[in-house]
Chain A
Amino acid sequence: MKKIIVALENISKSFDDEQILSNISLYIRENEFITLLGPSGCGKTTTLRIIAGFETADTGKVYFEDKLLNDIPPYKRNINTVFQKYALFPHLNVYENVAFGLRLKKMKNEDIRPKVKQMLALVNLKGFEKRNINTLSGGQQQRVAIARALINDPKVLLLDEPLGALDLKLRKDMQNELKNIQLKTGITFIYVTHDQEEALSMSDTVVVMADGKIQQIGTPTDIYNEPKNAFVADFIGESNIVDGVMLEDFKAKFSGHVFDCLDKGFEKNEPVDIVVRPEDVDVVDVDSDKAMLSGVVTSVTFKGVHYEIIVDINGFKWMIQTTDYVGADQKIGLYIEPDAIHVMKKSEYSNMFGDYSSFSDELEKLSDATEVIEE
């Protein structure tokens, strides 16, 4: 295991009586690409700003390479930030923006020039030195912001929703580029986003946050396959989350049927949350022996690779992704493999998520869009 470079211990923070962070502890290692993921207002940006030094924690400690960082002002921290809207200086051109940090260190012109060149090459902006910031596109401004931060050789780079203002295609390109830069430089990246896809595809470690608390820390696959509670299961990808009872090890009962599963270590007859991902459910004939559950299809949407169908099972609506066509109002049977069933302990988020009765694609997109604007 690599050395821990940033440590947060029992951090709490509130603004105007509103608790933003409650008792957060987080250990970040060298060379790690770690993402703080969560909906707006979950405290991810505040966490980042505490590490950068723009906010001070009410209680708790921040360590940087084992040194206490709490009372060190931002300009004395070997940490740099890429801001959400870049915060490039409009009165300086590209070259001077990138050279800004070095000039503060009173470095000589002839030493600055090759470093700026090297940085601009790293972010694919060769030849842009003389350009005015206002003449650059969003993607180009983004690259300048990255170069400006990286030129100071920070041990840790903080990125606050850096791709939030870019359109979809540009965002995908920049994701790859950011990942490459991180691999090339070996700098620890602490990345904040509300976009779960972005988090899963770029990060070594994902920290899911909600309501000022860390819900789960893990690799992207862990987070997706073994969500710790209903919130994480719902926030990451699509999930059907139903109430169940753990009868004994490897035996779970939900939706009126007893299933084999791979989970153990629960009390006898402990109430639990069960997660089943839509792509892990097979549609079978309702009369077939394989059919474990049965329900009525209430809607069918063609998604290209698969159909997305909503199935009403005893009043609870499941989302299922299938390549076979089924018609609306058809009664179908469902089959679930033991390894597709994920059992979670009950939490404060139980019964809040996972029912698709009010689901609509448009609504989802709408809420995503407003989130970007709000932040």
Chain B
Amino acid sequence: MKKNSFMKQLASMPYYVWAIIFIIVPIGYVLYYAFTDSEGKFAGLDNFAIIEHYASTFSLSIMLAFIATVVCLLIGYPLALAISRTKPTTQKILIMLVMLPMWINFIIRTDSIAILLEKNGLLNSLLGNFGVSLELMDTRFAVIVGMVYDFLPYMVLPIYSVLTKLDVKLVEAATDLGCNSIQALTKVIMPLSLAGVVSGVTMVFVPCVSTFYISQRLGGANTYLIGDAIEARMLSISADYNKGATLSFVLMILIVVSTLIMNHYTDDDESVAAGGIM
């Protein structure tokens, strides 16, 4: 028996090696580049001076991601609640339908929004019949629309999965004790679905704050986000790996801190997993 369980311990060795080389070491590289100069000498916090240069980029990224997340929550929570109150068979189909767009490549999804918003796009050609023409592309509005559209399902699913597990009897008990339906919602359902909200908010905020494609495709030159800055520092002619690494590191810290703050509101540490992708 002992030998058997030893074999099983051994079974995970390839993964441990893999995780060290391909997860931990790369993060180590980010740290290395973030704290050294272009000649590889230790640079202390020198690289972090660029944060000042990128202050407006960071704040714009956070602001747009925040607005998109709030909009997702405002649309997504009622949707999750409504779906959780339909018949079980209907629920399955509806949830399938919510999930489906998640699997469509986000470049395609973003482009489908572009089709609608473009100057010669569908929306304008419809509005053109009334003699109206709107400049929707290359605006922050378009970026937020793109973010909401791309990541709404990530808000709905975790909230829904918590709401369906919620015992109907709790709501009945609340109404029995004198809650009207709105009070039942605010006093019972909402507090109990907090774990789902937290994981939904995390799942929307993280990709929004770090996106570079949505802002390029829909925001034009008006919206230069932190993702764009990282892309430029890593891939463009003006590449500077140390600065790229520094920005990535700061973004990572930003995410870790905000995730920790979010998770502070729920002690269900499996909530992120419970949100599930499938």
Q: Interface on A for B, CB 8 Å cutoff?
A: 53-56, 73-74
CA distance A208 to B1 in the complex (A): 28
Chain B residues, CB < 8 A from A55? 1
CA distance A104 to B1 in the complex (A): 19
Nearest opposing residue in chain B for A54, CB measure: B1
CB proximity to A under 8 Å, residues B1-24 = 1
| Closest CB in chain B relative to A73 CB, distance in Å | 8
Nearest opposing residue in chain B for A73, CB measure: B1
Nearest opposing residue in chain A for B3, CB measure: A73
Chain A residues, CB < 8 A from B1? 53-56, 73-74
| Closest CB in chain A relative to B89 CB, distance in Å | 22
Nearest opposing residue in chain A for B4, CB measure: A73
CA distance A135 to B1 in the complex (A): 32
| Closest CB in chain B relative to A144 CB, distance in Å | 25
Q: Residues 206-218 of chain B: 1 if any A CB is under 8 Å from the residue's CB, otherwise 0?
A: 0000000000000
Chain B residues, CB < 8 A from A54? 1
CA distance A54 to B1 in the complex (A): 7
What's the dominant secondary structure at chain B's contact region? loop
| Closest CB in chain A relative to B4 CB, distance in Å | 9
CA distance A53 to B1 in the complex (A): 8
CA distance A56 to B1 in the complex (A): 9
CA distance A231 to B136 in the complex (A): 87
Q: How many A-B residue pairs have CB under 8 A?
A: 6
Nearest opposing residue in chain B for A49, CB measure: B1
What are 6 A-B contacts with C-beta separation under 8 Å? A53-B1, A54-B1, A55-B1, A56-B1, A73-B1, A74-B1
Q: Interface on B for A, CB 8 Å cutoff?
A: 1
| Closest CB in chain A relative to B77 CB, distance in Å | 37
Chain B residues, CB < 8 A from A53? 1
| Closest CB in chain A relative to B101 CB, distance in Å | 35
| Closest CB in chain B relative to A48 CB, distance in Å | 15
CA distance A74 to B1 in the complex (A): 9
CA distance A55 to B5 in the complex (A): 13
Give the top 6 A-B pairs by smallest Cβ distance, nearest first.
A54-B1, A55-B1, A56-B1, A74-B1, A53-B1, A73-B1
Chain B residues, CB < 8 A from A74? 1
| Closest CB in chain A relative to B195 CB, distance in Å | 29
CA distance A55 to B1 in the complex (A): 8
| Closest CB in chain B relative to A74 CB, distance in Å | 8
Nearest opposing residue in chain A for B2, CB measure: A56
CA distance A336 to B226 in the complex (A): 95
CA distance A53 to B4 in the complex (A): 13
Nearest opposing residue in chain B for A55, CB measure: B1
| Closest CB in chain B relative to A62 CB, distance in Å | 15
CA distance A74 to B2 in the complex (A): 12
| Closest CB in chain A relative to B53 CB, distance in Å | 59
| Closest CB in chain B relative to A209 CB, distance in Å | 23
Chain B residues, CB < 8 A from A56? 1
| Closest CB in chain A relative to B8 CB, distance in Å | 16
| Closest CB in chain A relative to B184 CB, distance in Å | 35
| Closest CB in chain A relative to B233 CB, distance in Å | 52
| Closest CB in chain B relative to A226 CB, distance in Å | 39
| Closest CB in chain B relative to A53 CB, distance in Å | 8
CA distance A310 to B100 in the complex (A): 72
| Closest CB in chain A relative to B2 CB, distance in Å | 8
CA distance A230 to B42 in the complex (A): 78
| Closest CB in chain A relative to B259 CB, distance in Å | 37
Nearest opposing residue in chain A for B1, CB measure: A54
Nearest opposing residue in chain B for A53, CB measure: B1
| Closest CB in chain B relative to A34 CB, distance in Å | 25
| Closest CB in chain A relative to B3 CB, distance in Å | 9
| Closest CB in chain A relative to B1 CB, distance in Å | 6
CA distance A294 to B1 in the complex (A): 60
CA distance A340 to B1 in the complex (A): 50
CA distance A55 to B2 in the complex (A): 9
Chain B residues, CB < 8 A from A73? 1
| Closest CB in chain B relative to A49 CB, distance in Å | 10
CA distance A303 to B1 in the complex (A): 50
| Closest CB in chain A relative to B68 CB, distance in Å | 45
| Closest CB in chain B relative to A203 CB, distance in Å | 29
CA distance A54 to B5 in the complex (A): 12
CA distance A74 to B4 in the complex (A): 12
CA distance A73 to B1 in the complex (A): 8
| Closest CB in chain A relative to B255 CB, distance in Å | 41
